[in-house]
Amino acid sequence: MLTEMKINSNIIKQRKKLLLPLFSLFFILFSLPLYATDTEQAITLLNKMSNAVKTQNYQLYFVTQERDQYVTTYQYSHLGNIHLGNINGDSKSNDFSQSANMAHLLHLEGSAKEIILHNNITSYFQPESASFSISSPRIVEAFPDVVYNDFNRLTDVYDFILLGKTRTANRSVQLVKIIAKERDRYSYIIWIDDETYLPLRIDLNDLNNELLQQMKVIELNRNFNTKKMLDYISNRTYPILLAIEKKSSESDEWRLSWLPKGFKEMAAYNVNFYNSDIATKLYSDGIFSFTVNVSDEKSNQSNQVIKQGGKTIFSTNLNRQNIIIIGDLPLTTIERIAQSIDNVQKSH
């Protein structure tokens, strides 16, 4: 009897040794397709969001808030794919075949600041200072860069995670988290409307998953007077474009020897700002971006850091050149970028 009990006990132990690894194997095999499906669904949602933001007619009332800062409120009106021939009511216009986005952002508190997008130009009307225009296909103050993407191209750098459904602005939404595979940048959680696919809330979180900055829609209006808004944008007098000299990267005096994975140089400019010549380069991975600004002014200042919500402003000097890096990235990443600047020398 004792012998049989020992044999049975040994059999049970052996089975456990086999079953535990087998259970782990089944868990891995069955969880991988589910994870892949969730990832694909998240990317599909995000791509629908990106298309909706650019092509639909909508009006949003939303608030933004950075960590430890006051809430700011806005009205944002967007006209998607407006035919340019219709602007003056002329269906025979030569420009009828062309289309463009138009948009209007109004500050609802303080002075009546306005930003208007028209014909790929963004114009800033500021009561306290001179108005100006820049070449830009969208109003960057309305939505962060993250909403304007083909998310299929970002899977090497980011994970996309479905977090389930909830409600915001009295509407049903799905939550998607966007998090970098490496801990060198922040993460986003986006609330995507079930009906329109517009983003109704966007949270920027730091490396500890604490909120840095939030954009939150209070009201979505799809039945606003589009003709009135179109007339308002079409009949404004706009300030002239700022003169910004775009330069070829082949002639640069400096470059970066290290970039976070997925980042690329998008543009390079020479800007004269308050009688100081500044060489500026813009880098982006599609979701986050930063600029490196090298001034021709001599400087011996020590490193200085300013944090504003998700934005880091880091200034230093190299070869007595004044260098300022501005980006929506953690300080550790910004500092490593600064350390990788090669061959800084006086321009011109």
- The per-residue pLDDT for range 136-152, each reduced to its tens digit, is 889 999 999 999 999 99
With tokens 């791509």, the residue in question is 47
> pLDDT value at position 318?
78
β-strand partners of 304: 315
Question: Comparing 121-125, 154-158, 191-195, 344-348, which segment has the lowest mean pLDDT?
Answer: 344-348
β-strand partners of 199: 192
> pLDDT value at position 308?
84
With tokens 């390079």, the residue in question is 268
Please tell me which of 25-29, 83-87, 161-165, 245-249 the model is most confident about, judged by mean pLDDT. 161-165
> pLDDT value at position 300?
62
Instruction: Report the residue count for the chain.
Output: 348
- Alpha helices in the chain, H assignment, sequence order: 2-55, 226-234, 331-339
Of 61, 4, 67, nearest to 217 by C-alpha is 61
Percent of the chain with pLDDT over 90: 55
Q: How many CB atoms lie within 10 A of CB 239?
A: 13
Cβ-in-10-Å burial (0-12, 13-18, 19+) of 133 comes to middle
Query: Tens digits of per-residue pLDDT, 41-92?
Result: 999 999 999 999 999 999 999 999 988 788 999 999 999 976 655 444 444 4
Query: Tens digits of per-residue pLDDT, 227-276?
Result: 999 999 999 999 988 766 565 544 456 788 999 999 999 988 776 655 66
Q: Supply the DSSP string of 253-318, one letter for each residue.
A: S-EES---TT-EEEEEEEEEETTEEEEEEEEE-SS-EEEEEEEEEE--PPPEEEEETTEEEEEEEE
Q: What is the mean pLDDT of the chain?
A: 82
Give 224's DSSP letter.
S
Query: Tens digits of per-residue pLDDT, 88-137?
Result: 444 443 443 345 689 999 999 888 899 999 989 999 998 888 899 988 88
Cα–Cα distance, 63 to 66 (Å, whole number) = 10
Q: How many CB atoms lie within 10 A of CB 338?
A: 18
Q: What percent of the chain is helix, strand and coil (3-state, nearest 5)?
A: 25, 40, 35
